[in-house]
């Protein structure tokens, strides 16, 4: 009897040990495969995503076209930063302030807010995972975000994001979105067109970038204004040298223009607020402006003649 109990306990320990060993092996296998997967996408465009497969299984024909980041209009990347992640170039993939704000809102019972997930987590989700919530997927999203932030450059993250993000029903990437909404590719978007595509990104199946109305139109106009702030404040410095408005190569020394004279006054500093772009009202049309200096008052009541200032010879 005692031997039978001992055998059962030994078999249970053996099974538990085997299960634990399998779990450890699966964990390291997952880590290895995810590392190789992320390294592959560092150089190769993702051929298909889980979201794309969902559209295909639903009977839709997907539209996508990969365009290198250096060929995409720079305002499109600025629009993404302005709309989704103003700290894209400065954080390590996680905007702590946005996450804290989302947690406070959830604690107050008002639901989640958009903005807790920055561009990097959205890229990780779009490239490697599926849509939908849940703590399990969120945990995987954080893992893949950590990987791409350390194994990819910021330029590569933005490039993948702009090429696989859903920009309409069965439409993926900003180039396919630009062709769908504006009949042009993503190399020559206007600032307003780029902003409208960015306004569609949070809900691509419910919003339209062409002739938008209501919230989408107002949100697009807001992003248009923010694009100028992103460019002015250098919030896209990690993308320098990319985009269709990248700086031209340096002019050869022999052909460089002559420097300005030393007495040329320096240019005024750039405005710090959007309101500072408004030109002030000229002095001549201001109601309280003094156009001419005040004239001296003459005492008309005095009857004394002016003093004779002539000099006798």
C-alpha span between 16 and 271 (Å, rounded): 67
Q: Per the structure block, which two tokens stand in for 225?
A: 């204004």
Residue 163: inside a domain: yes
Specify whether the CB–CB gap between 46 and 157 falls below 8 A: no
pLDDT given at position 133: 74
The pLDDT value given to residue 313: 39
pLDDT value at residue 5: 61
Q: Note whether residue 275 is domain-resident.
A: no
Report yes or no on 188 lying in a domain.
Answer: yes
Phi, psi dihedrals of residue 168, rounded to the nearest 5°? 175, 175
Whole-model pTM: value is: 0.73
Residue 40 lies in a domain: yes
Helices and strands (H and E) in the chain: how many? 10, 3
Give pLDDT, residue 278: 39
Strand partners, 64: 172
Instruction: Label the pairing between strands 171-172 and 166-168.
Output: antiparallel
d(CA 294, CA 225): 44
Count Cβ atoms below 10 Å from residue 79 Cβ, excluding itself: 30
Question: What whole-number distance in Å separates Cα of residue 34 and Cα of residue 229?
Answer: 37
Q: Is 245 among the domain residues?
A: no
pLDDT for residue 240 = 85
312 located within any domain:
no
Number of independent structural domains in the chain: 1
Q: What is the largest CA-CA distance in the chain?
A: 153
Taking CA atoms, 31 is separated from 35, 125, 136, 214, in Å, by: 6, 17, 16, 45
- 130 domain residue, yes or no: yes
Q: Is residue 17 part of a domain?
A: no
Low-confidence ranges of the chain (pLDDT < 50): 112-115, 248-254, 256, 258-259, 261, 264, 271-293, 298-303, 305-307, 309-313
Structure-derived torsion over alpha carbons of residues 6, 7, 10, 12, reported in degrees to the nearest 10: -110
Query: In whole angstroms, how large is the CA radius of gyration of the chain?
Result: 32
CATH number, domain containing residue 104: 1.10.3810.10
Instruction: Determine the structural domain holding residue 107 and report its residue range.
Output: 23-239
């Amino acid at each position: 009897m005692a031997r039978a109990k001992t055998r059962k306990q030994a078999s249970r320990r053996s099974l538990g040990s085997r299960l634990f060993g399998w779990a450890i092996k699966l964990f390291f296998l997952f880590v290895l495969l995810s590392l190789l997967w992320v390294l592959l996408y560092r150089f190769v465009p993702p051929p298909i995503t889980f979201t794309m497969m969902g559209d295909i299984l639903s009977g839709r024909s997907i539209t996508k076209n990969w365009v290198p980041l250096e060929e995409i209009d720079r305002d499109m990347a600025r629009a993404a930063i302005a709309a989704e992640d103003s700290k894209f170039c400065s954080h390590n993939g996680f905007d702590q302030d946005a996450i804290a704000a989302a947690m406070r809102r959830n604690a107050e019972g008002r639901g989640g807010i958009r903005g807790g997930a920055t561009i990097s987590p959205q890229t990780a989700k779009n490239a490697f995972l599926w849509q939908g919530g849940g703590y399990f997927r969120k945990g995987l999203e954080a893992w893949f975000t950590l990987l791409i932030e350390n194994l990819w450059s910021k330029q590569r993250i933005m490039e993948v994001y702009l090429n696989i993000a859903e920009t309409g029903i069965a439409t993926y990437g900003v180039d396919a979105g630009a062709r769908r909404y504006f009949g042009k590719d993503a190399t020559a978007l206007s600032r307003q067109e780029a902003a409208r595509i960015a306004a569609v990104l949070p809900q691509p199946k419910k919003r339209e970038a062409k002739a938008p109305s209501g919230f989408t139109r107002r949100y697009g106009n807001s992003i248009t204004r923010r694009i100028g702030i992103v460019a002015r404040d250098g919030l896209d410095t990690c993308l320098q040298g990319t985009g269709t408005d990248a700086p031209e190569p340096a002019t050869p020394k022999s052909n460089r223009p002559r420097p300005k004279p030393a007495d040329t006054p320096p240019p005024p500093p750039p405005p710090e607020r959007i309101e500072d772009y408004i030109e002030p009202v000229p002095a001549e049309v201001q109601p309280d402006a003094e156009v001419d200096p005040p004239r001296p008052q003459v005492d008309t009541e005095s009857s004394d003649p002016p003093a004779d200032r002539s000099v006798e010879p």
